[in-house]
Chain A
Amino acid sequence: MLFSLSLPSIRTSYKIKIFTFFFFFSARQNSEIIRLLLKLALGVTMSRAAMASSISDRARGAYWGGLIADSLALPVHWYYNPADIVKQFGRITGFRPPASHHPSSIMSLSNTGGAGRGGQTGSIIVRSKHSRVAQESSLPLSPLHHQPPHLYRAMLLITGRKNTGGFQGCTITKV
């Protein structure tokens, strides 16, 4: 009876069958079955809590994993000849700074005015005053930094991954 009360939506014919099912067992067996059912219900609740905790740990792991992997690869990003990695770094097994020379940089081939490869006279990418090359070529960049962000229009500020070859110079048009 206790069991059928806990399932109010169950059809009467099934209640009778369940009641009959319990009737054929001893009181001791019945209490064991009930204990098992309670354990099962508790288990579902427990596993939901465990799942929420797993999910937060896995989300955390995914976030850190992406950032760790990116940073491990940073010094040897675009090394298309793996032998160069061995030559300059041995084997990467931790965070390392980039070397002063990048043997296979494709940065100088990148189009600074749009997609993919191309010339470096475009103004989508400009150098900031912090850039080594900008300082060397004395580009008149300082005034730009005093303007509010919306005046920068379509402009990416590129400032200093110093290992990667580098652009040959950018023409700054209107900002």
Chain B
Amino acid sequence: MSAGDNTLNSIVARLLVRTLVGQDTFSATPSTDPLSTPPPASLLASGGVYSTEQFLRNYVRFMTTPGSHNDTYAETYHRMFFLNLGKGLPPEKCADDDKHNVDSAGGLVLIPAPALLAAAAQGGAAAVSAGVTQMYATHNSKRLAKFVEVYVKALHRVFLRSEDESPGKAIREAVRDAGLALGVGDLVELAAKTPGHEGDLAVIGRFGSACYIEGSLPSLLYLAGKYSETPQEALFQNANVGGENCHRGSALGALLGAAWGMAGWPKELVEGLKEAKTIHLEAEAFARAAELCATSGQREIAVKILEHP
């Protein structure tokens, strides 16, 4: 892999966004990257209709298409899913749980997109429902669902902040509530009295820098709280503390971006992603879908999510 690439779970998150905006087909020709085909212009304009079944169909097809991605590692949830598929189970019954590795930060990577659309359309309860519904499509874990709920509540809180509230303040409020809900104390207060990189290493070392959700979500929230005014720095720091930083980072970046919008990300980071041109089309389609969800009379996407628990 090379500079500006994305890892497998993030590539699947792109596939999910394409599904959400109605791009449910891609070229299955070997050696072409399905995600390199831009979504049709009509879909960019019209939003789309979503169901987890549709996502799972695309997911199976994507994962079994040679050359569809260039990552060498697939997390446990993928392996368990395809083990079950190989046994002949239908895709909607393939999500599994090993009571250990499935409950990980990787389980948060697919959550933001459907949760944000549902939040835009119908608010916090719908966002949690959409997030948990999405999680069960690939992760059959009640334990993980509790963490997803905490994460989505934070996401919803910052995403629908009022215009009068600054993004940084909204993030800190959301982080404080989430930390208390997880029983790890006031993470904003902890961040305020923890100086520098060494301090971050100590805190994240204590919570856990690995993938396991009970450590990775508090670590993510701590970074969000500490760098709430400098989202770019939060992502740098997330990388530099190591561990399972890709998936933790993905969920962290979505949380900060949901508060800051594009003002949070400098041009060089946006344009530096290897697939930036195609991601731009997906992002615009997704933004349009969110806007449609937020406007009265255009609530179909979230409603469809809730019809498929």
- Does B284 contact A60, Cβ atoms closer than 8 Å? yes
Q: Which residue of B lies closest to A160 (CB)?
A: B70
Given contacts A60-B262, A94-B268, A158-B74, contact A76 B242 (CB under 8 A): yes
Residues A64 and B79 in contact in the complex (CB < 8 Å), given A116-B98, A145-B66, A154-B86 = no
Contacts of A125 in B (CB 8 A): 74, 79
- Range of interface residues on chain B? 35 or more
Contact B257 A64 (CB under 8 A): yes
- CB<8 Å pairs between A and B, sample of 14: A56-B287, A59-B117, A61-B265, A67-B13, A67-B273, A70-B6, A73-B238, A75-B3, A80-B209, A95-B269, A112-B79, A115-B79, A115-B98, A159-B69
Q: Is A156 in contact with chain B by the CB < 8 A criterion?
A: yes
Taking a contact as CB atoms under 8 Å apart, the answer to whether A65 and B1 are in contact is no
Q: Within 8 Å CB of B226, what residues of A?
A: none
Which residue from B28, B64, B116, B295 sits with its C-beta under 8 Å from A59?
B116
**A106 to B74 alpha-carbon distance, docked (Å):** 12
Report A133-148 residues with CB < 8 Å from chain B CB.
144-145
Question: Do A68 and B269 form a contact, CB below 8 Å, given A61-B258, A154-B83, A161-B70?
Answer: yes
Main secondary structure of the interface of B (DSSP, over half): helix
Which of A64, A152, A163 is the most central at the interface, judged by chain B CB atoms within 10 Å of its CB? A64
Known: A76-B242, A80-B243. A69 touches B249 (CB 8 A): yes
- Asked, given contacts A55-B291, A82-B241, whether A61 binds B286 with beta carbons under 8 Å apart, the answer is no
- A63 close to B273 (CB less than 8 A): no
Q: How many residues of chain A are within 8 Å of chain B by beta carbon?
A: 75
Which residues of B line the A interface, CB within 8 A? 1-7, 9-10, 13-14, 17, 28, 30, 61, 63-74, 76, 78-80, 82-87, 96, 98, 100-102, 109, 112-113, 116-117, 120, 155, 159-160, 163, 201, 209-210, 231, 235-236, 238-265, 268-270, 272-274, 279, 282-284, 286-291, 293-295
